[in-house]
Amino acid sequence: MESVTSKELTQSPNDEKSFWLSGLVLCYFSCSEGNCFTLQQCWLIPLIEKSESREKLKTGENFMSQITEALLKERDKQAKWNGIPLLLQKLYEHSHPNSDFSQCQSILKEISPLLSMEAMVYVTEDRKAAQESSFPNTYTFDLFGGVDLLVEILMRPTLITQKKKQKISDDLIKDCLSILYNTCICTEGVTRRLAERNDFVLFLFTLMTNKKTFLQTATLIEDILGVKKEMIQLDDIPNLASLVSSFDQQQLANFCRILAVTISELDTGSDDKHTLLAKNAQQKKNLGPSRAEINQATLLNIPGFIERLCKLATRKVSETTGTSSFLQELEEWYTWLDNALVLDALMRVANEEAEQSSTESSDESGLANTSTRTQLPQSMKIMHEIMYKLEVLYVLCVLLMGRQRNQVHKMIAEFRLIPGLNNLFDKLIWRKHSASALVLHGHNQNCDCSPDITLKIQFLRLLQSFSDHHENKYLLLNSQELNELSAISHKANIPEVDAVVNTDRSLVCDGKRGLLTRLLQVMKKEPAESSFRFWQARAVESFLRGTTSYADQMFLLKRGLLEHILYCIVDSECKSRDVLQSYFDLLGELMKFNIDAFKRFNKYINTDEKFQIFLNQINSSLVDSNMLVRCITLSLDRFENQSDAKVAEVLSECRLLSYMSQMSMRMSFLFRLINIIHVQTLTQENVSCLNTSLVILMLARRKEKLPFYLRTLQQMEYTEKYPGFILNNFHSLLRFWQQHYLNKDKDSTCLENSSCISFTYWKETVSILLSPDRTSPCAIVSYIDEAYMDIDRDFSEE
């Protein structure tokens, strides 16, 4: 009979019987080798290894005290635990409530390299590959209660009621935090377990008052909050205002990484949850403000918070703090750069510099005195500042879109955020890449994940939020450009826009060009495949949104924007759906009611071939192009009611206006717009199709042609051999429209401003169309045969 080893018999028990048998076998073989253990001790090892029993052990008395050193050594040889359980047992013995923790740090110094080695593999290798590989050291550390023991050590001083509190050294705290973070990123489930402990999460914030432990604490908090099911409430953080005021500018920028998680609405991760039906249902359930909105208000109540963010966002690279502090940050928070090679090279320099520097400057605008030997490369300084500004701009952007938008607008205008960003535009925000520019590990300079790219996108998102339907948008110009707007209005013999007249000239951009003009310049130079095209178009479009301004349009037309857009749509035959949608939306705002814009359009689209390409792009996706269709329809209606000779000339010559003036074309657009949307699939992106179809019918109602349009839709249904389908769907869509818009002041204002049709007329038209009177020539039900009637379906989402 072949001999059987204890390792073979105790390996991977498959059922409960073999599980307990493994403990007996381990006991037998251990005793036969001269090591006598109790049966309870022998059962503990397979019990620990059995994953479903692990949590039960952790909830009771610490099991490390029940296992002898000899048993751990015996099993350690077979399981290749690298001595981690033995080290944890020592750590447990030296961390009792009455201990002084003097031996704990030396033990952690032995554990730390075993775990940091695996963490470095995770952050430097391909993430997918890293997640699929195993990390035995961090797993073993957690398996034997290491995570819970470190949490207990960290929180021990807060739990003891003695007058003389235990003192934990900064170095011990740093080691505990670093090990916890490494375990979190390598072992599944650890971060979620920590996130469930609200007491521990709030305790971590108290550690941020210590500059020496700040970075490790911030890194761990960010990781934990990223998986926490329920958003924390900033008001629960002890002494939040004084905590934030104690931060220097670097710490505040890092803290913004954490704030980003607490002020952004949680993403459900499911597309169907983003439907307007689901959002409306959720709003009915949540009558009060959300956690994110409460947290936003909390931040705005912190004295000087927005002012400091504006200073951070607009400071120049030369105003950053000294080399020494930055090198230490890179050493301690390697996950920021994800580049181990950079950190390995800097680590020795940082330590040497730290020993020689007795003091560090925390002045926000001054430079620390550093030796020339360790002067940081300019590219590294720039990358440092970019990563800070990313977080700050994100927080400002979220606050600009929140409930306190007007308050935020007033403050960031007062603190000259826009002029400051304008001064940074060429040298930092839209700087030219150098061959030595730093990038994230595993990426290149053109990757959407690189800091340079992300900063540009975040900057454009901020401009979009800042300009959208707000009179402060004129701060994007300089004084000369504001004068140009006034001159355009005077030449056209139209009143100046009040917001232009009332703009505080001391708060506008400096220099030869304002921020909007600078954006237009880089926009026209952007390569066809650039990922920035979408965001650039969105930012410029937001400047034009709201009540149509002829002066604003002409300001942009004079700078060749229309020709650039048409070149991208027609000549480069753009294929990206997102970019096309942003171009169509921008073109719609640029041309709406502007006869000069249509004249310029016809001059550029001067052949039938070009015009057909343009139409093909429009018809390829009406969801993307419907805002332009709405603009053309509204403009045509206005031009037809004017007696101006110039307007009449353009009407007769412009291919686009002639095309839309055909009834068959308008009916084709109307039919398709209604057909591509349904109540259950309506989102913020495609609900515009419903409003565009309504615009077409409202203009028909003005001309008393509404019955003709409805009858034509009925005939088109029969032609498609699907009677009732379009009109039943449209009836349901309009019922939803009433529910969605009648209680939303902002949405109704946007509809009114963008169409120049009073919201009262919108409501009246919808009510007429939804009339139950089958004798009414303007009621949808009058055009649906009884056999195909399906208008009472309940579409509400529970």
In angstroms, rounded to a whole number, what is the distance separating the alpha carbons of residues 779 and 761?
Answer: 16
Mean pLDDT, residues 239-264: 93
- State the amino acid at position 780 in one-letter form: I
DSSP annotation of 166 reads -
pLDDT, averaged across the chain? 81
In angstroms, rounded to a whole number, what is the distance separating the alpha carbons of residues 192 and 86?
Answer: 26
Partners of 509 in beta bridges: 478
Contact by Cβ (8 Å): 81, 141: no
Q: pLDDT band for position 274 (50/70/90)?
A: confident
In angstroms, rounded to a whole number, what is the distance separating the alpha carbons of residues 772 and 784?
Answer: 12
Task: Give the SS3 label for residue 509.
Answer: strand
Q: pLDDT band for position 18 (50/70/90)?
A: very low
Nearest to 314 by CA among 514, 130, 459: 459
Q: What is the pLDDT of residues 183-222, one digit of tens each?
A: 988 888 999 999 999 999 999 999 999 988 898 899 899 9
Mean pLDDT, residues 306-311: 96
In angstroms, rounded to a whole number, what is the distance separating the alpha carbons of residues 532 and 518?
Answer: 14
Nearest to 29 by CA among 65, 64, 82, 71: 71
More confident site: 274 or 432: 274
Alpha helices in 621-686 (DSSP H): 622-640, 645-653, 655-660, 663-675
Q: Which of 251-255, 386-390, 654-658, 687-691 has the lowest mean pLDDT?
A: 386-390
More confident site: 534 or 788: 534
In angstroms, rounded to a whole number, what is the distance separating the alpha carbons of residues 38 and 297?
Answer: 60
Find all residues with CB under 8 Å of 211, minimum gap 6, and list them. 248, 251
Find the farthest-apart pair of alpha carbons in the chain and give their distance in angstroms, rounded: 110
Q: pLDDT band for position 46 (50/70/90)?
A: low
What pLDDT sits at residue 493? 95
What pLDDT sits at residue 379? 64
**Angle ∠(703,709,712) on CA atoms, nearest 5:** 150
Highest mean pLDDT among 62-76, 155-169, 437-451, 653-667: 653-667
What pLDDT sits at residue 744? 59
Q: What is the pLDDT of residues 367-409, one digit of tens each?
A: 334 443 445 556 666 777 788 899 999 999 999 999 999 999 9
Q: Which of 13-27, 34-48, 522-536, 782-796 has the lowest mean pLDDT?
A: 13-27
More confident site: 644 or 129: 644
Q: Is the pLDDT of residue 42 over 50?
A: no
What pLDDT sits at residue 723? 86
Q: Which of 10-19, 36-45, 458-467 has the lowest mean pLDDT?
A: 10-19
Q: What is the pLDDT of residues 775-784, one digit of tens each?
A: 999 999 999 9
Q: Is the pLDDT of residue 580 over 80?
A: yes
Contact by Cβ (8 Å): 423, 510: yes
Buried b (16+ CB within 10 A) or exposed e, 341-352: ebbeebbebbee
Highest mean pLDDT among 3-17, 262-276, 446-460: 446-460
What pLDDT sits at residue 338? 38
In angstroms, rounded to a whole number, what is the distance separating the alpha carbons of residues 772 and 552?
Answer: 44
In the chain, the percentage of residues whose pLDDT exceeds 90 is 52
More confident site: 798 or 625: 625
Contact by Cβ (8 Å): 356, 371: yes
**70: its two tokens:** 């000899």
Mean pLDDT, residues 228-237: 92
In angstroms, rounded to a whole number, what is the distance separating the alpha carbons of residues 367 and 316?
Answer: 12
In angstroms, rounded to a whole number, what is the distance separating the alpha carbons of residues 367 and 365?
Answer: 7
What pLDDT sits at residue 287? 75
What pLDDT sits at residue 85? 86
Q: Which residue has the tokens 């709030």?
A: 202
What pLDDT sits at residue 148? 92
Report CA dihedral (663, 669, 670, 675) to the nearest 10 degrees.
Answer: 150
242 burial (CB, 10 Å; 0-12 / 13-18 / 19+) is exposed
Find all residues with CB under 8 Å of 156, minimum gap 6, and list them. 95, 97, 166, 168
In angstroms, rounded to a whole number, what is the distance separating the alpha carbons of residues 494 and 550?
Answer: 9
What pLDDT sits at residue 797? 46
Alpha helices in 226-369 (DSSP H): 240-246, 249-263, 276-285, 291-300, 305-314, 323-332, 340-356
Contact by Cβ (8 Å): 477, 500: no
> Quick one: angle between helices 725-741 and 706-719, nearest 10?
130
In angstroms, rounded to a whole number, what is the distance separating the alpha carbons of residues 745 and 146?
Answer: 55
Give the H/E segment covering residue 148. Answer: helix 146-159
In angstroms, rounded to a whole number, what is the distance separating the alpha carbons of residues 187 and 119?
Answer: 10
What pLDDT sits at residue 789? 82
Highest mean pLDDT among 61-75, 319-333, 543-557, 737-751: 543-557
What pLDDT sits at residue 72? 67
Q: Which of 12-26, 377-391, 507-521 has the lowest mean pLDDT?
A: 12-26
Highest mean pLDDT among 2-11, 258-267, 498-507, 525-534: 498-507
Q: Is the pLDDT of residue 9 over 50?
A: no
Q: What is the pLDDT of residues 481-496, one digit of tens each?
A: 999 999 999 999 999 9
Nearest to 396 by CA among 384, 382, 407: 407
In the chain, the percentage of residues whose pLDDT exceeds 70 is 75
Nearest to 530 by CA among 467, 566, 558, 572: 572
